[in-house]
Amino acid sequence: YRLHTEKHLRKLYNDAHEQPDHIIHVTSTGYFDPNAVDIIISEKKWHDVDITNFYHKACNAPIPAIRTANALIRSSLSGGYEKLKKRIDLVHSEMFSIHINLSEDHPINVGLMSTFSDSFLRYSIMTYDDARKKGLPSLKIVAFKNMTIPNSTNSAVWKVSDPAFEFRIDPMKYFRLIRKNINNFVKSFFSDAGMEFREVKDQLLFVFQASSSLVLKQIAKELDLSEEQMAFSRNTLYENCYLSSGAIPLMCKQLIDDSTISSGQKIICIGYAQGITISAMLLEKV
């Protein structure tokens, strides 16, 4: 894990000459100290860059990590004794391939072998004014929401084990709980943001971090979404397998690069993971 993570992070920062103020390292597949981010900033002599390790949040990590970055920037802008933060990088390094136990033929393990994929990504959070001044195509953060589904903590567990991390899940209970709670969660999210989901849903783009087409089908049914509204998330899953914490950032990058999507377009990102936690993030293309 360390060897490959260092190699990929060097590639991600190979052409980076301006240092960030802070780096948040996101992973649920490998931990060591000093970690790959420590090593990269040491090699680049970025000795005053703050590092936050955002570990073991699994597939639902990107939205809480982005929320943390957003809070750090807003806090630094309020003054006081904290150093001003103009740019925070988020770096994802997920290597599920090293946690495949080939000697275990349990159906859950077979599912892991055939579904999860590796991902290494880097992207930045900065103020709206700075992004606009630099002419950077971007997505503006509008709102966040997170919830833990009641009585769900024993439905899925991801833990350190030998020779690989162990994943235990009751799939029927896990997906039933998500299906049962997703509608009220989304309605509450938009209500908190001063909107009515039913009135705006046909104008939204949807980004779902989902581990299977079955989950996407269930979510579409509960939220009354069309096949067209699910196609983007479904195609990403089909083309890349399940990228875990890398799925939502990758899809956001594709939306930024898509010239057919105009400024002002609202995008809702939804993720989930064991806990069971569900997170949502409303974005606007600028």
Across the range 132-145, mean pLDDT stands at 96
- Residue 159 has a pLDDT of 85
d(CA 240, CA 60): 17
Q: What tens digit of pLDDT does each residue of 109-138 get? A: 777 777 888 999 999 999 999 999 999 999
pLDDT level of residue 94 (50, 70, 90 thresholds) = very high
Task: Report whether 236 contacts 247 (CB < 8 A).
Answer: yes
pLDDT at residue 238 tops 80: yes
Q: What tens digit of pLDDT does each residue of 198-219 get? A: 999 999 999 999 888 888 999 9
267's tokens: 């995008």
- Residue 97 has a pLDDT of 85
Say how many Å lie between the first and final Cα of the chain, rounded: 37
d(CA 143, CA 192): 9
CATH number of 2-133: 3.40.47.10
d(CA 230, CA 218): 11
Q: What is the pTM of this model?
A: 0.94
Three-state secondary structure call for residue 149: coil
Task: Report whether 266 contacts 194 (CB < 8 A).
Answer: no
CA angle 56, 59, 156 (to 5 degrees): 75
pLDDT at residue 4 tops 80: yes
Question: What is the rounded (10 degree) CA torsion for 214, 139, 91, 100?
Answer: 10
pLDDT level of residue 181 (50, 70, 90 thresholds) = very high
User: When comparing pLDDT for 166 and 26, which is higher?
Assistant: 26
d(CA 186, CA 74): 25
d(CA 279, CA 145): 6
**Which residues have CB under 8 Å from 282's CB, separation 6+?**
141, 142, 143, 144, 189, 193, 266, 267, 268, 269
- Residue 210 has a pLDDT of 83
- Residue 43 has a pLDDT of 96
**Which residues have CB under 8 Å from 165's CB, separation 6+?**
29, 99, 158, 159
Across the range 56-84, mean pLDDT stands at 91
Mean pLDDT of the chain: 92
pLDDT at residue 80 tops 80: no
d(CA 216, CA 245): 17
CA angle 146, 282, 155 (to 5 degrees): 30
Three-state secondary structure call for residue 258: coil
CATH 3.40.47.10 domain position(s) in the chain: 2-133, 139-285
- Residue 146 has a pLDDT of 97
pLDDT level of residue 82 (50, 70, 90 thresholds) = confident
CATH number of 139-285: 3.40.47.10
> Is the preceding omega at residue 276 within 30 degrees of 0, hence cis?
yes
